[in-house]
Structure 1
Amino acid sequence: MSRSIRCVLAVLVLLLASGVVSAGSAVAAAGSTELASGWALRPATGLADGGAAISLPGYATTGWNPVTLPSTVLAGLVANGVYQNVYFGQNLKNVPDLTTQDWWFRGEFTAPATAPGQVYWLRFKGLSYRAQIWLNGVQLDAAAVGTFVAHEYDATAAIRPGAANALAVRVTPPRHDCKDLSACTVDWNPEAPDMNAGIWNTTLLDTTGPVALRDPYVRTTLSGSAADLAVYVDAVNATGAPVTTTVSGTITKAGRPDLAFSQNVTLAAHERREIAFAPIRVDDPVLWWPYQFGSPELYRLTVSAGASDSKSIDFGIREVTDYRTTVNGTSFAGYKINGRPILLRGGGYVWDLMQRWDTRTNAAHVNYVKGMGLNTIRLEGTLGNEELYDLADRAGVLVMPGFVCCSAWEDDSAWTAEQERVARESLNSQLRSLRHHASAFLWTYGSDQPPTAAHLAAYKSVAAALRWQNPTLDNVATWSNADAGMKMDGPYVWEPPVLWWDESKSGGAFGSTGEEGTESPPPLETLERFLAPADVWPIGTAYNYHAGKPGSVFDTIAPYTTGLSKRYGTATSAADQSRKSEAQNYENARAFFEAWSARQHVRSFGSIFWMLNNAWPSVHWNLYDYYLKPGGGYFGAKKATEPVHIAYDYLTRAVHVVNSTLTTRSGLTATVSVHNLPDLARKYTASAPVTATANAGVQVLTVPAVTGLSRTYLIRLQLKDAAGATVSDNVYWYSTSPDTLGNKSNWYRTTPKTYADLTGLNTLPAANVAATAARTVSGGSETVTITLTNPAGLAFLVRPEVVADGREVVPVLYSDNYVTLWPGESTTITATYRTADLGGHQPALRVRGYNVPAATVPIP
């Protein structure tokens, strides 16, 4: 025992002699330090020394791989060049199985100097899967287990205040094929060779006085024009004797009066107890609203235990409630935010295959969700990225977390006692990190299947104990649980747009869906980043290796390429394939979100597109690619979810107007016109007055069967206000031989019977679009204003891109893209990005389209 620790203990003994320690008398400074640097990684195989020796300061790590935490084993080895360019081609196959041995993580750090009453806490927010933990030669834990379990230790007796300290963590990886309660990507991509073993989340050294505070939380109940705020926080007595303190707090928001409260607390020796405060009434609160409904306003809660410890969180005053509606004989869940029904429109998020993340990437995901007009991110087992939750809070993006499917998480009928404990502790840890976030509106205990009755009851007991204030679902698939509230009946491969509108088919837009989506190959420039030229075209083994998990039904994109060839014509090159696939991605994503939006709150209540993004460079399931390049799917979704939108029903030829805001728009006029190709001859037109009721969809027109049409034709929909300004402008390309669906259907596909003939698009004459661009720079970001003018003919799916050194600058937010310009029309588009993402290069504007030759102009 060090001399400084003996001094601290002597002070505590004197205080204990008087009966009860007062936390308010402590002078220790509360603080938290992330232990990110000074770490090294190596295999445990071949190293004779154990944790007692490895965790001593000064232990030599010659030959180890230096790493920065958080890090998985594979991420650390890749960072050190042990395995290179693992996302290119089939290089991942060259990485051996890294789960066959244990791995050592070792780090050194300097601990803050001691003070009277000071306690040191070591906290691991993410270890996978098993770990043995030593600090300065002392074993803190011989059997930490659980990827999603947070582990915390009172390290006071082992710490060396004001001096060098050493941590050694021996990690045992999870088993392959999702056999442990770990992170799992199922069939989305190849498994990580290490199964994401390592210290994947933050590691913290905290200092407090005798009482530490944990997990502050504010639970909201709305009552008329007021809100009642119930505040909770756990208090932990780190000493071996009773301790008394005053736990006090304030709730603040700029421009609003501060709210203060306090409570005297006496804790027994080593007691951890939830401290609950009487509800605080807030009159006329500033509410937190999701995107397109209002402003995501946040308040600040700060709680303190005398001078011993202090914690702060941001929270939103909002209330989420659920309701049920029966559609087509099935009960579906819908949700209200602050009493207003909201149509969930989102995508399934997955982190990088090596579980790497950074602020730039996290912010891009959240900004892209808003950029597409979506409001929800689903996390199927992708838990623990707390920065993502913070960003979602501030952006007004809803987060739908829950456990993953098709793994040990759902194969729970034969769980061991350890697995039962790990499951409960995982839920406890994750709900504690999520519950104060305004964005986290729902928890799903299961995905494809519900847990067993016993485990579901245990889960619900945990949620009740933590005062989880939001709705929950037992699972999100009615095929396994008729009362699930959400369906998951596919599809998962490409389908023609008509499917989303057809309620008689699996995947039709009715009820609520936990996930469904299609293959979505990225643009050619992205393919060239992870495939050799010979693998980009023709499509072969390496290309399909970047589809779903090898050996799964998703290890090829054959349904997609068949649809593309049948509808747009057989591709003749990689560039031709990309041109056509971007059009197909656009029309499919647009139709998906339009179909769900048109029936909102009557027959449809929420949809999650599978997927939002990819874990690695992929040709399957995304709305934007791994490198953050937005393509056809991104802009199709963005078009469909504009605040007030006019849409076409591929099944019934109905025209709908959808208002996704909480403000009714009256005095609108909807117009439909049908045109032949390639001459654009108008064959039909009609108009109708429209009042777009807030937060609703309405059918306004029906396009009749039109004679004299070319085999491929265009439908143009326009919505204008009373002053003639365009509110929504939408162009569809379709055929007199439409897509039809066959009767063969299973959980991942309904097989098309016939395919629409869209080859008339290939007869469009080349269009020469004039483009100008101007740039403004402010505060590290840049906005480029782009003007496109089409003098004659039809300019179809025109794609302006801000590029630097020949590659599109990403992440980037466009006000619009893939626009179709009729003869004599022009449009203005803005693009916003960070100056740092230019990489020191001068930006330029590249413009191209389906029938528009590529041209590049400088951006001054």
Structure 2
Amino acid sequence: MKRTNLSLLYSVITLFFIQLSNAQETYELNTDWYCNPIKKTKADGYEVSQTDYNLKKWMPATVPGTVLTTLLNNEEIPDPFYGMNNEKIKDIYETGREYYTYWFAKDFNETAKKGEEVWLTFRGINYSVAIFINGKKVNETPYKGMYLRKTFNITNFLNSNGKNRLAVLVHPVDEVGNPNGGQGGDGTIAKNVSSQYVAGWDWIQPIRDRNTGIWDKVLIEKTGAVNVKNPHIVTLVKGERMPGADQEPATLKVSAELENVSSKAVTGILQYQLNGSTIAKEVTLQPNTTTEVDLKDFQMENPKLWWPNGYGAQNLYDINITFTANGKTSDTEPVRFGVREIQTYWNEHTRSKEIAVNGQKIFIKGGNWIMSDAMLRLSKERYDAEIRYHKDMNLNLIRIWGGSLTERPEFYEACDKYGLLVIQDFWISGDCNGRWLDPMKKEDQWARRQYPEDHELFITSAEDMVKMIRNHASLAIWCGGNEITPPADILHAIKDDILPRLDGTRWFIDYSNSDDMSYNFKGGNGDGPYGIQDVSVFWEERTWPFNSEVGSVGTGDAVSLKRFLPKKNQVIPSEIEGTEKVKDEAWTYHKYIDYNNAMDVYGKPTDMEDFANKAQLVNYDQYRALMEGFSAHMWDWYTGMIIWKTQNPWTALRGQMYDYYLDPNACLYGTRKGSEPVHAMYNPVKGDIMIVNNTFEPQHDMMLRITSYDMEGNEKLLTQVFCYIEKSSVRLIMNLEKKINELAKENGTFLSVQLLDTDQEIISDNFYWIPNAEGQHSGLQTMKKATLKATAKKTNDTTITLTLKNEGKQTVAFFNRVSLLDNKTGERVLPTFYSDNYVSLVPGATKTITMEYDALNTIAPSIEISGWNTKLQHITIK
């Protein structure tokens, strides 16, 4: 480099932090939007986008949001998630596309000084749009596709007085599909590059506008002549690392696209600072070009690594990638990233893929995710709450199902924060894209196999989405589609071009149950089952060695059900013989899965409240058994499993750990218990006592204590023994089948399985209720009442500590649900995060439960406690 260039480099670096007046400015256009249907709008975009065009008769619009969301917020339609209300809303298949075609308009203040460029970015519009500013059309070429970001330089569109109007005409998807009850309706929804679930699925009713609208953020950004775009961060972590230890160096590779919009060449410095070092490169950018620039690799000394949930800390770094020219900052892009490396291997023993992070193998305990809200009412706060629930379940992975969307950066930020690895599917499904014969589909398999109609749009959108989310530490795996690959040309574009060129650091699965992920030794579809199962199935029946979809039921409790079921529908659902439907239409409409006779062992439910309470016993038992059964065969039968599914984007009655309103049910706590990092458990089929270690270190000198309690609360110590377990393994300790069967023979029994450390602190506390010899919980049905003593205090602005004690000579206080309420309304406050719930206390036992609610200072808090054999009580907060 010439001496003059070196002087330029050092002077620019010196000025790096004092050029705040020239720094980038970015803000969101998310208020004061208005909309009007095209049928009622006589003017065109050139007129509507003039600031003097009168919008007084237009309706306030929700942006980001959909047409349906705006209509709901203006009380033009009933809540489609309540009861049968969705049937009262006109479906686009019947009305035609024009019915849901709307103009959206927004006035904003902005000017461009000399040397400034102003950019307008849409992070997601569904589906095709015409964009106008101040009487001029912005997008001269078509802009369509649900997943395609688009940025426009609007500098020359702005009015000199700073008063501007943006007008956007949004058309629905080209093919709206017939919502005929099939998976994705008649399948033609998949002709678009958009979500497929909107035409209905076996877990959701159709979304009437097919989510038409400006559904993601609209941003204004100001830069200099050079815009920094699509930064790319790659971290390389070689060898086998340990959390918390001093680390060998890691390599950081940084690049970015630089767009020079001026008519002159620009010479400047691309740079970032980290750990006291400045990494910089001088570049010359030709006029009206976009250039990708690679910075020199940086060796990070003793990096703080990012680990999945349960294995270590989720350390994150922040850098600003900046381009400066002539001593001024043209643009800065902030990037947050974690230092980690994902590795994958083929496990010859299980015949499935094995995932490692930073050289350490991870037993995958995951959940399938659809999206946060079916009407795309997305928020950073809701994402954070939902991902935290997954963290609280001791899960370490989320798979985003292919009939939905590429999740938003805010979703990935939450996964980075809480340590959830992510499998991101592309927008393909076996149902709509032709894997099977299907009489509900309009076209045959050959035709459906070529969906979508515009392959180039799919490929362009895929490339853009990779750029949008590739810097997130949590993103671990790309997947071509749900249960089928994309068409060959799309598959090869993603697999052989886009991912190697734009990422290159992650495993790519052709489709979600591919042999590359998990060998199909059973034939057929391989994933599932999805309904109620005898717990022995989870322990004894071998399924795919890395099962992408396996699950059970998930109905909420009575409080949850009453939120969306009208009073007339608050009944016990009874099955229509020979069908998957039940007699009550609302239960069927909300996709209820029958519990069969699973509750009868506790006594036949007498009303909906009793039904819902007993459902929680089943829920807890099902998901604890699922997690324990798979864990019992880790590295032997399995390298991982993913629950179908852990959340619902609407008020459904199946497959969820918490309801649409973010109220957890017993599924969450059964999963949490069965997934403990270090866990002691009982195999109800064979009577085995086992321990599981999901950490990277062996566990020594643990005390295993097994105690039974009869229905009167009498205690019997069955064994107490020191034990150890190697890292990332499962171990059989003993068999107690004979003893336990004898104790349970008449009325059933309770079984406490605990692990204690050398300080006699509990590591794992697992409590089972064992049926009698006939499989009935006869003893539970005749249990005496127990009294729980409860005290609570507020420990800080977000946390309450509740202490429960089962005092005196009485029986077990069984299966107690704790709920945080607001005394002003008498309602549960949501979301509240509990350290444990649905807890049982043996005689003399004390349990402490913490509950966190961010807005604690805005409510008058109290705690409700209800249990199987304890009276309902309310505790005031000290």
State the TM bucket, normalised to the shorter chain. 0.7 to 0.9
Please give the per-residue CA displacement for 1:321-351, whole angstroms capped at 9, x wherever unaligned.
11112456xx311211101111222222322
Secondary structure of 2:237's counterpart equals strand
Secondary structure of 1:423's counterpart equals helix
Asked if the contact 2:517–2:546 (Cα under 8 Å) also holds between the matched residues in 1, the reply is: no
Secondary structure of 1:527's counterpart equals helix
Q: Which of 269, 293, 299 pairs up with 1:281? A: 299
Secondary structure of 1:61's counterpart equals coil
Please give the per-residue CA displacement for 1:736-776, whole angstroms capped at 9, x wherever unaligned.
557xxxxxxxxxxxxxxxxx423432121221212121222
For 2:253 and 2:547, the matched residues in 1 are separated by 33
Number of positions where the alignment pairs a residue of Structure 1 with one of Structure 2: 799
Asked if the contact 1:477–1:489 (Cα under 8 Å) also holds between the matched residues in 2, the reply is: yes
Asked if the contact 1:171–1:198 (Cα under 8 Å) also holds between the matched residues in 2, the reply is: yes
1:719 aligns with 2:775: no
Structure with higher strand content: 1
Correspondence 1:593-608 to 2 at 5 A:
593-608=627-642
1:625 aligns with 2:659: yes
2:373 aligned residue: 352
In the alignment, structure 2 segments of 5+ residues that lack a partner are 1-15, 178-184, 240-247, 436-446, 575-580
1:51 aligned residue: 45
| Cα distance, 1:221 vs structure 2 | 1.3
Q: 1:128 to 1:407 in 2, by over 3 A?
A: farther
For 1:206 and 1:542, the matched residues in 2 are separated by 53
Structure 1: which amino acid aligns with 2:570? V
| Cα distance, 1:657 vs structure 2 | 1.0
1:137 aligns with 2:135: yes
| Cα distance, 1:831 vs structure 2 | 1.5
Q: 1:25 to 1:70 in 2, by over 3 A?
A: closer
| Cα distance, 1:690 vs structure 2 | 1.4
**Worse-superposed segment, 482-491 or 366-375:** 482-491
Q: 1:191 to 1:759 in 2, by over 3 A?
A: farther
Asked if the contact 2:466–2:503 (Cα under 8 Å) also holds between the matched residues in 1, the reply is: no
2:104 aligned residue: 106
Q: Matched residues, percent identical? A: 25
Structure 2: which amino acid aligns with 1:124? F
For 1:363 and 1:416, the matched residues in 2 are separated by 34
Q: 1:422 to 1:187 in 2, by over 3 A?
A: farther
Q: 1:721 to 1:245 in 2, by over 3 A?
A: closer
Asked if the contact 1:546–1:619 (Cα under 8 Å) also holds between the matched residues in 2, the reply is: no
Structure 2: which amino acid aligns with 1:579? N
Q: 1:760 to 1:416 in 2, by over 3 A?
A: closer
1:570 aligned residue: 604
Structure 2: which amino acid aligns with 1:571? P
Structure 2: which amino acid aligns with 1:309? D
For 2:64 and 2:538, the matched residues in 1 are separated by 41
Secondary structure of 1:421's counterpart equals helix
Q: 1:789 to 1:681 in 2, by over 3 A?
A: closer
2:222 aligned residue: 207
Q: Which of 174, 181, 191 pairs up with 2:193? A: 181
| Cα distance, 1:213 vs structure 2 | 0.7
Correspondence 1:438-477 to 2 at 5 A:
438-460=473-495, 461-477=497-513
Please give the per-residue CA displacement for 1:505-536, whole angstroms capped at 9, x wherever unaligned.
xxx4x621222212211010011111122211
For 1:737 and 1:144, the matched residues in 2 are separated by 67
Asked if the contact 2:238–2:358 (Cα under 8 Å) also holds between the matched residues in 1, the reply is: no
For 1:687 and 1:410, the matched residues in 2 are separated by 57
1:697 aligned residue: 730
Q: 1:332 to 1:737 in 2, by over 3 A?
A: farther
1:96 aligns with 2:90: yes
Secondary structure of 2:795's counterpart equals strand
Asked if the contact 1:789–1:826 (Cα under 8 Å) also holds between the matched residues in 2, the reply is: yes
The alignment's TM-score, normalised by the length of structure 1, stands at: 0.87
Correspondence 1:551-562 to 2 at 5 A:
555-558=591-594, 560=595, 562=596
The root-mean-square deviation of aligned C-alpha atoms, in Å, is 2.8
Please give the per-residue CA displacement for 1:113-144, whole angstroms capped at 9, x wherever unaligned.
32222222211110001222222222222521
Asked if the contact 1:431–1:468 (Cα under 8 Å) also holds between the matched residues in 2, the reply is: no
Correspondence 1:405-484 to 2 at 5 A:
405-406=429-430, 414-415=449-450, 419-460=454-495, 461-478=497-514
Correspondence 1:133-172 to 2 at 5 A:
133-141=131-139, 143-172=142-171
Correspondence 1:399-410 to 2 at 5 A:
399-404=422-427, 405-406=429-430
Q: Which of 415, 430, 438 pairs up with 1:392? A: 415
| Cα distance, 1:182 vs structure 2 | 1.0
Asked if the contact 2:112–2:118 (Cα under 8 Å) also holds between the matched residues in 1, the reply is: no
For 1:371 and 1:116, the matched residues in 2 are separated by 52
Secondary structure of 2:529's counterpart equals coil
2:397 aligned residue: 376
1:11 aligned residue: none
| Cα distance, 1:654 vs structure 2 | 1.9
For 2:156 and 2:453, the matched residues in 1 are separated by 28
Asked if the contact 1:776–1:784 (Cα under 8 Å) also holds between the matched residues in 2, the reply is: yes
Please give the per-residue CA displacement for 1:366-421, whole angstroms capped at 9, x wherever unaligned.
22122222222222234242212112212222222212424656778654786211
Please give the per-residue CA displacement for 1:19-43, whole angstroms capped at 9, x wherever unaligned.
xxxx999996532121112211222
Q: Which of 112, 117, 120 pairs up with 2:118? A: 120
Secondary structure of 1:360's counterpart equals helix
Q: Which of 61, 64, 75 pairs up with 1:70? A: 64
| Cα distance, 1:223 vs structure 2 | 3.2
1:853 aligns with 2:871: yes
For 1:161 and 1:415, the matched residues in 2 are separated by 49
Structure 2: which amino acid aligns with 1:335? I
1:775 aligned residue: 794
| Cα distance, 1:478 vs structure 2 | 4.0
For 2:818 and 2:449, the matched residues in 1 are separated by 55
2:3 aligned residue: none
Structure 1: which amino acid aligns with 2:761? A
1:762 aligns with 2:796: no
**Worse-superposed segment, 819-828 or 315-324:** 819-828
Asked if the contact 2:311–2:696 (Cα under 8 Å) also holds between the matched residues in 1, the reply is: yes
| Cα distance, 1:480 vs structure 2 | 11
Asked if the contact 1:448–1:488 (Cα under 8 Å) also holds between the matched residues in 2, the reply is: no
Correspondence 1:186-197 to 2 at 5 A:
186-197=201-212
For 1:512 and 1:491, the matched residues in 2 are separated by 14
1:643 aligns with 2:677: yes
| Cα distance, 1:314 vs structure 2 | 0.7
| Cα distance, 1:711 vs structure 2 | 5.2
1:583 aligned residue: 617
Please give the per-residue CA displacement for 1:631-669, whole angstroms capped at 9, x wherever unaligned.
211111121222321112233322221223333321112
For 1:363 and 1:497, the matched residues in 2 are separated by 32
For 2:688 and 2:281, the matched residues in 1 are separated by 62
**Worse-superposed segment, 149-158 or 374-383:** 374-383
**Worse-superposed segment, 340-349 or 315-324:** 340-349
Asked if the contact 2:304–2:339 (Cα under 8 Å) also holds between the matched residues in 1, the reply is: yes
Please give the per-residue CA displacement for 1:595-644, whole angstroms capped at 9, x wherever unaligned.
22333344322222222221112211101111111121111112122232
Structure 1: which amino acid aligns with 2:49? S
| Cα distance, 1:433 vs structure 2 | 1.6
Secondary structure of 1:760's counterpart equals helix
1:833 aligned residue: 853
2:815 aligned residue: 797
Structure 2: which amino acid aligns with 1:152? T
1:317 aligns with 2:339: yes
2:697 aligned residue: 663
1:301 aligned residue: 319
Structure 1: which amino acid aligns with 2:382? T
Q: 1:673 to 1:191 in 2, by over 3 A?
A: same
Asked if the contact 1:341–1:601 (Cα under 8 Å) also holds between the matched residues in 2, the reply is: no
Asked if the contact 1:546–1:618 (Cα under 8 Å) also holds between the matched residues in 2, the reply is: no
For 1:248 and 1:683, the matched residues in 2 are separated by 68
Structure 2: which amino acid aligns with 1:782? T
| Cα distance, 1:235 vs structure 2 | 0.9
Q: 1:607 to 1:546 in 2, by over 3 A?
A: farther
Asked if the contact 2:91–2:208 (Cα under 8 Å) also holds between the matched residues in 1, the reply is: yes
Please give the per-residue CA displacement for 1:646-695, whole angstroms capped at 9, x wherever unaligned.
1122333222212233333211122334555x345678823443113233
Asked if the contact 2:265–2:286 (Cα under 8 Å) also holds between the matched residues in 1, the reply is: yes
